[in-house]
C-alpha cells in the first residue's frame, strides 16, 4: 500500500482535529485510504465480456478465423468437424478471458476500467463501514463524524452520526469537501484534510458547542489505510 502522508503530515492533521474539537462537543475521525475496494468483480466482468465478444465474432465470421488458423497451423483448407470447431471456440474464449484477467491484475489499468458511479458507490460504502466501526454511537451525544478520503478512486466522503445528521443537512458539508479537494488536486493531501477538518469543526461548533465537562471520546490521530 502506498503511503500518502508523512509522519509530520499525520501530526499536522491530528493537531487540526484537536484544535477543531476544542470548540465543539463533536468528535472528528479522519481516514485516508489507498483504495475503497479491489474491484476483482469488475475485472471478472471485463474478462467475461472480452471472452463473450471473442465468441460472438467467431460465430459471425468463422471462415475468417479458420483461415487464420489454417495458415498458422500449415493446414490446407481442412474441413473441421463440429467438435473441433467447438474446441477452437472454447479454447479461444478461455485464452481471451485469462489474458484479460492477467492484464487487469495491474491496478492502474483495472482502476481505469471501473465506471465512475461504481467507484462513488464503493467509496461511500467503505466510508459508511468505517464510520460504523470507528465512530457511530461511540460518543455520548452521538456526535461522531468521519472524513474519508480514497486516493485511488479520487473520492471523498463525510459521514455523520445521527445527532449531527438531525441538525446539519448533507449539503452543508459541501464547503468542507470543496476545500479538501482544492488542496488535494494540487497534491497537498494533508492540507486538504486540514482544511476540511477546519470547516467541519466550524459547523460542529455552531450546532454542538463544547461544554466545560466535555471529554475527548475518540482519538484525534489520522488513520491511514
Residues 122-180: tens digit of each pLDDT: 999 998 888 887 666 666 667 788 889 898 888 888 888 888 878 878 788 888 888 88
In this structure, the number of other CB atoms found within 10 A of the CB of residue 217 comes to 15
CATH 3.10.580.10 fits 7-37+115-224, yes or no: no
50, 54, 60, 62 alpha-carbon torsion, rounded to 10°: 180
Which pLDDT band holds residue 102 (cuts at 50, 70, 90)? Answer: very high
State the average pLDDT over residues 35-56.
88
Domain ranges of the chain: 7-37+115-224, 40-112
pTM of the predicted protein model: 0.77
State the residue for C-alpha cell 500449415.
Answer: 74
Amino acid at each position: 500500500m502506498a503511503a500518502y502522508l508523512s509522519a509530520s503530515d499525520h501530526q499536522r492533521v491530528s493537531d487540526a482535529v484537536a484544535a477543531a474539537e476544542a470548540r465543539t462537543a463533536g468528535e472528528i475521525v479522519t481516514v485516508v485510504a489507498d483504495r475503497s475496494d479491489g474491484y476483482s468483480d469488475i475485472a471478472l466482468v471485463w474478462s467475461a465480456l472480452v471472452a463473450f465478444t471473442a465468441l460472438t465474432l467467431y460465430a459471425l465470421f468463422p471462415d475468417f478465423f479458420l483461415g487464420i488458423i489454417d495458415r498458422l497451423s500449415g493446414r490446407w483448407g481442412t474441413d473441421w468437424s463440429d467438435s473441433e470447431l467447438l474446441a477452437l471456440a472454447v479454447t479461444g474464449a478461455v485464452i481471451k478471458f485469462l489474458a484479460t484477467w492477467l492484464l487487469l491484475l495491474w491496478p492502474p489499468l483495472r482502476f481505469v476500467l471501473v465506471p465512475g458511479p461504481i467507484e462513488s458507490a464503493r467509496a461511500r460504502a467503505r466510508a459508511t463501514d468505517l464510520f460504523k466501526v470507528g465512530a457511530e454511537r461511540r460518543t455520548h451525544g452521538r456526535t461522531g463524524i468521519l472524513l474519508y478520503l480514497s486516493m485511488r478512486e479520487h473520492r471523498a466522503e463525510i459521514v455523520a452520526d445521527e445527532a449531527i445528521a438531525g441538525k446539519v443537512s448533507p449539503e452543508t458539508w459541501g464547503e468542507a469537501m470543496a476545500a479538501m479537494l482544492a488542496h488535494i488536486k494540487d497534491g497537498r493531501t494533508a492540507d486538504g484534510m486540514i482544511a476540511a477538518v477546519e470547516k467541519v469543526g466550524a459547523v460542529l461548533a455552531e450546532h454542538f458547542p463544547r461544554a466545560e465537562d466535555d471529554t475527548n471520546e475518540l482519538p484525534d490521530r489520522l488513520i491511514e489505510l
